[in-house]
């Protein structure tokens, strides 16, 4: 007969929310730093029209 696993304490909602907001704050800072970096390049716009035609493999009647 095996032993029962020890019951774990539940995390409070506020603790999880605090952790998530701290993560979002770091992520926002990281992205703004990346965007303002002198090595950042302007993203080239993809031409969606040409790609859409390539993706069509079969036309339903």
pTM for this entry: 0.50
- The string of pLDDT tens digits covering residues 2-18 is 889 898 888 888 999 99
- Per the domain annotation, does 25 fall within a domain? yes
Q: How far apart are CA 50 and CA 41, in angstroms?
A: 24
Domain span at residue 17 reads 13-54
Whether the CB-CB separation of 43 and 49 falls below 8 Å is answered with no
The number of domains in the chain is 1
Task: Say if residue 33's pLDDT is above 90.
Answer: yes
Q: How far apart are CA 36 and CA 42, in angstroms?
A: 11
- Per the domain annotation, does 44 fall within a domain? yes
Q: Select from 18, 35, 48 the least CA-distant residue to 56.
A: 48
- In a 10 Å sphere around its CB, with 0-12 CB exposed, 13-18 middle and 19+ buried, how is residue 11 labelled? exposed
- Per the domain annotation, does 1 fall within a domain? no
- Per the domain annotation, does 22 fall within a domain? yes
State mean pLDDT over 42-60.
Answer: 68
- Per the domain annotation, does 34 fall within a domain? yes
């Amino acid at each position: 007969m095996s032993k029962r696993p020890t019951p774990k304490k539940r995390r409070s909602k506020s603790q999880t929310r605090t952790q998530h907001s701290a993560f979002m704050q770091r992520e926002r800072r990281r992205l703004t730093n990346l965007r303002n970096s002198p090595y950042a390049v302007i993203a080239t716009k993809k031409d969606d029209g040409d790609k859409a035609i390539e993706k069509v493999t079969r036309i339903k009647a």
